[in-house]
Amino acid sequence: MCGIVGAISKRNITPILIEGLRRLEYRGYDSAGVAVLASGNGIKRTRAVGKVIELENALEKEPVHGHLGIAHTRWATHGKPAERNAHPHLSERLAIVHNGIIENHSALRKKLTDLGYTFTSETDTEVVAHLLAHHYKEKPNLLCAFRSTLRELHGAYALGVIHQGEPNTLYCARMGSPLVIGEASEEQFIASDPLALLQVTDQFIYLEEGDHARLTVESREIWNQRNESVEYPVLRYEHAAHSMDKGEYRHYMLKEIYEQPAAIANTLDGTLAEDHVLTAALGPEAETHLADIRNIHIVACGTSYHAGLVARYWIEEQAGLPCQVEVASEYRYRTVAVPPNTLLITISQSGETADTLAALRHAKQQGYLASLAICNVAGSSLVREADWRLLTKAGPEIGVASTKAFTTQLVALLWLTTALAQANHRAPEMISANVRALRGLPRLVEKVLHLDQHIEALAATFTNKQHALFLGRGPHYPIAMEGALKLKEISYIHAEAYAAGELKHGPLALVDENMPVVSVAPSDSLLEKLKSNLQEVSARGGQLINFVCERAELDNGDGITHLSMPWVYESVSPIVYTIPLQLLSYHVALVKGTDVDKPRNLAKSVTVE
């Protein structure tokens, strides 16, 4: 998904735009561009294929200075990565950047071609530039022309616009894609994500769906879809204290893996009493209704979906409530049977994933008791649109492959399970054991991180491998799924996860000496069952890598490698066993020489469908 930045200031804004793009690169990195209204020289546009560094190199050769500008980092949807498709797109005397998808772009392209406009790209965005130029020609008032343009667009957009006819004004609008306004003294900014602007401000205004705005150095006007003037509070960005650079680490992913003890402690901060959880953390309304919840539906995408799958085991076993989990892209288009008093939970790191947001909006028509967003970004659309919220406090996650966001989601979900168990008067010993285990979790994760070197040594097993299987049982089956997803995402090795009991129903046919099989083997009630499944693999010459509890006794033998894990209380075990799988995929990616933080074809925040 693309990232946009814009700025209007009394100082030269080009370095601010470039730094913004660098910080937004996690959203897309196939090309980048900038358009600056250069004092007295009209709009100067520079674009480059590849990462933001390529754009920086181009600007070094031909620098541009100005006080008004927009910039973009692209994740291709319409038209392959090429300079002609990179934003900003120009038409006559204006430039625009866009994140989203204009669904009626074909019809608009035809209309504009008939009107005499020539297209230089295959993007859906270029129609917006020409449409705006067309309306401005009909009536040279940029606000009116912008509104007429927005009325004709179907689909999703966050837009930034500059025009030589109004050299002191920055326009923007959002519908279905995120956009914030950043405020500082005598300068204003726009961006897809506050992270892009933390170098210049921590004060943000979060636009609502359908809003558009006109910004100058000293004024800010915002209107809703009905063109009524609206005002929003300026909010301080909570993550501002977090360091945004890689520090001593080679990659953001590694830094974020190592930040997990602190991220977990922050997420739990102020939520645990000695032997119970403090449900006030959910807010007064949610707290009052906790005991009314009789069913739970969880909806999410990607890694967040895996967190939901683990939670289903916890919620059904510990809180005694039926729970179903679904990917948002399916849920949003189907008729759901919602029993009385069902809580909808959406889980998302970013809070801007298009399918998850659409699922929440779909759910609002389905008669749920309430909706709860578990999210890492306080000001995100998901958090603002849900009835209740439970924030993970992982801090900004930059690596495309989610790590600390996932473990903090699991922490929030185990905490919530405990809150529901409490509300349903379930066994107090179980509740206090969960609280103790949660409290001890940061230290335990720290301990597992010390296994890094041993895990690094295992990575060589994957050097020439094209495929891998991951096995787990119970709540560790979704952990195996997450381990396989991590490996796929960053090392491009085809990896599949199976509930270990399913092995003999098909995947066993794949097992030979070329197939590494990774198993998650905590010392739980399913260990004996898992052991039999692992023997099935050994007997067929499969190469087994077992992440195994120090108290469990697993067979040794040729082709079997054990990595000993500390004993952990059963509830938190899925969280702890996630860590070695993250480290394994990281080290395998290093061996394979892939781009760990920005794997090919992926984006961190998927704001299009």
For the bound state, the minimum distance from the C-beta of residue 362 to ligand G6P, rounded and expressed in Å, comes to 16
Q: Which of 44, 51, 404, 604 is catalytic?
A: 604
Spatial neighbors of 504 by CB under 8 A, at least 6 apart, are 533, 536
Number of residues that bind ligand G6P (CB under 6 A): 15
Stretch of 70-78, 97-105, 177-185, 347-355 lying at the interface with ligand G6P (CB under 6 A): 347-355
Spatial neighbors of 365 by CB under 8 A, at least 6 apart, are none
Alpha-carbon distance 405 to 208, whole Å? 25
User: Segment 272-331, which members bind ligand G6P (CB under 6 A)?
Assistant: 301-304
* By CB under 6 A, residue 127 contacts ligand G6P: no
Stretch of 46-54, 219-227, 587-595, 599-607 lying at the interface with ligand G6P (CB under 6 A): 599-607
Judged by CB under 6 A, the residue of 392, 402, 546, 607 near ligand G6P is 402
* By CB under 6 A, residue 349 contacts ligand G6P: yes
Measured from the CB atom, the residue of 302 and 483 that comes closer to ligand G6P is: 302
Nearest to 75 by CA among 493, 488, 600: 600
> Known catalytic residue: 144?
no
* By CB under 6 A, residue 350 contacts ligand G6P: yes
**Could you give the string, one character per residue 243-282, with x where binding to ligand G6P holds by CB under 6 A and - elsewhere?**
----------------------------------------
Q: Give, in order, the Cα–Cα distances in Å from 85 to each of 30, 73, 536.
A: 10, 11, 52
* By CB under 6 A, residue 604 contacts ligand G6P: yes
* By CB under 6 A, residue 181 contacts ligand G6P: no
Position closest to ligand G6P via CB: 302
Alpha-carbon distance 131 to 110, whole Å? 11
Phi, psi of 70 (to 5 degrees): -135, 155
Measured from the CB atom, the residue of 145 and 372 that comes closer to ligand G6P is: 372
Judged by CB under 6 A, the residue of 58, 449, 590, 602 near ligand G6P is 602
Percentages (nearest 5) of helix, strand, coil residues in the chain: 40, 25, 35
For the bound state, the minimum distance from the C-beta of residue 400 to ligand G6P, rounded and expressed in Å, comes to 5
For the bound state, the minimum distance from the C-beta of residue 590 to ligand G6P, rounded and expressed in Å, comes to 19
Alpha-carbon distance 121 to 175, whole Å? 23
Stretch of 223-231, 275-283, 508-516, 598-606 lying at the interface with ligand G6P (CB under 6 A): 598-606
335: helix, strand or coil: coil
Phi, psi of 245 (to 5 degrees): -100, 175
Q: What is the DSSP string of 92-145?
A: TTEEEEEEEEETTHHHHHHHHHHTT----SS-SHHHHHHHHHHHHHHS--HHHH
Lay out the sheet containing 342-348: strands in order across: 323-327, 295-300, 342-348, 370-375, 388-391
For the bound state, the minimum distance from the C-beta of residue 499 to ligand G6P, rounded and expressed in Å, comes to 21
CA dihedral 513, 516, 517, 522 (to 10 degrees): 120
User: Segment 511-570, which members bind ligand G6P (CB under 6 A)?
Assistant: none
- Residue 101 structure tokens: 């998808």
> Known catalytic residue: 2?
yes
For the bound state, the minimum distance from the C-beta of residue 352 to ligand G6P, rounded and expressed in Å, comes to 7
Q: Give, in order, the Cα–Cα distances in Å from 506 to each of 479, 491, 527.
A: 21, 25, 22
Stretch of 135-143, 218-226, 344-352, 571-579 lying at the interface with ligand G6P (CB under 6 A): 344-352
Q: What counts of helices (H) and strands (E) characterise the chain?
A: 18, 24
Binding site for ligand G6P (CB under 6 A): 301-304, 348-350, 353, 356, 400, 402, 602, 604-606
